[in-house]
Amino acid sequence: MPEPSPAEALEAEKHRNRVRISLVMSDPALTDAIVGGGAFGGAYSPIVAQNMFDRRHEDAIEDAKRLVEITEVCDRSWLVRLPIVNCAVFETDDGLVVIDTGMAPAGPAILQAIRTVSDAPIHTIVYTHAHVDHCMGTWALTESGPDGGSPVVIAHAATVDRFERYVKLRGSVSRYMSQPLASFPAGDDDWVPPSRTFTDTLSIDVGGERFDLIHRRGETDDQLYVSVPGRSAIASADYYQGFLPNAGNGKRVQRYVEEWAVALREMVALEPRHLLPAHGEPISDDQQRIAEVLTVHAAALEHIVDHTLAGLNARDRQDEIADSVALPAELANHPTLNEQYVSAADVSRMVMKQYCGWWDDIPSHWAPARFDQQAAAVCELAGGPAEVIGRARAMAETDPVMSCHLADWAWFANPTDPAIGRAVIELYTSRIVQTTINTQEVLMYLDHMTDVQLAIEAVDGE
């Protein structure tokens, strides 16, 4: 089959997005489950979330401008709150220091918000890490420096390599991020790279004020947080998120849970009175509250790490380790540790990913048959895919998790049967609305449902 032209690929991507949206809108309970938690601590904008790399998407830009807010956290220090993410702004006598710049459509919204509180030039921009929602809005700020020049952009030395991963794996990562491939970075011209990099720590002076940039691997290998000792303030990047941190995302590259906890405890030791997180609400003039939330987050991550390593050393099977992890009640019930975006089991799996190979301790999985071949064999033993899907429907209410295992076997054994495809969508919808699951899990199921619906359309159109 010939490769589709760029225009054909773009139209296919637009159609896939329409199918995805129609599935979301097909059931109010499904819509609620997907929207719940999807804002990642800020306002929710589907059009911004679906076009994070696109600086030319006018509707996304306008929605970011409509939803942006700016909150003063302490003297001459603000948190700009956007859909999904925040950025921190500190005014000095020489100009503004901006910590992170949001996703691409958010750049103009950030500048709009800044200009409601300060006319000072943007002196320095700091990237806390090279995720799309932290470094892609800079394009709109590049002419806001002193005398109309560009601000200095500072980041950890690993930031460039992390951005280049977007380019190297653009087909794969765009899929896992549910982003249009056409807007995905293709080279250095698609972002504003740092003009200054460092390793470990860096202290800078802007307008007579010190900003300490401290690197600790966490959500990424290039992540850092910023301490402003003269203001007793910390811009905490993604280390603190207001819910169980995004430290176990099954669609993302390695995250560093142990070092993440170290960073949180370091912040506590700095005794800040003001916390400006990259997601969620700021905490202003409350040293005790800041110490509490940072400490419980560190303790939760440390508990998961300890449980996971103990299980590995006891030679337990990896699925048993993840399945058995549970936070102690004082942590599980803390209001800032709800399993909104990922679960404790997800974080445990990420720890194992750092320390183990790809084998999951199941002997036949060392050199397995393809999953579709396994599915065909299972369905043959059960009397065919229709029998398996019938059993899945029968147990959908009592055991939605197992019903989806059966649905996968039936679908992968016979992916050209529209009736089975429709049953798969029905069963995954039931699982989403019946069970308490986190945002990343919901989105993964929605992606699968979209692929199944597209396959049904392809068969029906023949």
Boundaries of every domain in the chain: 6-10+369-460, 43-290, 301-355
Tokens of residue 430, six digits: 């039931």
The candidate with the shortest Cα–Cα distance to 133, out of 50, 215, 66, 196, is 50
Residue reference for tokens 């679960």? 343
Contact 241/41 with Cβ under 8 angstroms?
yes
Tokens of residue 2, six digits: 């010939």
Residue 283, beta-bridge partner list: 275
d(CA 105, CA 180): 14
d(CA 253, CA 321): 21
- Count of residues in the chain: 462
Per residue of the chain (462 residues), give pLDDT as tens. 566 777 777 788 888 888 988 898 888 888 777 766 555 767 788 899 989 999 999 999 999 999 999 999 999 999 999 999 999 999 999 999 999 999 999 999 999 999 999 999 999 999 999 999 999 999 999 977 677 778 999 999 999 999 999 999 999 999 999 898 989 999 989 999 999 999 999 999 999 999 999 999 999 999 999 999 999 999 999 999 999 999 998 899 999 999 999 999 999 999 999 999 999 999 999 999 999 999 999 999 999 999 999 999 999 999 999 999 999 999 999 999 998 889 999 999 999 999 999 999 999 999 999 999 999 999 999 999 999 999 999 999 999 999 999 999 999 999 999 999 999 999 999 999 887 678 888 889 999 999 999 999 999 876
Contact 112/100 with Cβ under 8 angstroms?
no
d(CA 135, CA 433): 34
Domain range 43-290, CATH architecture = 4-Layer Sandwich (3.60)
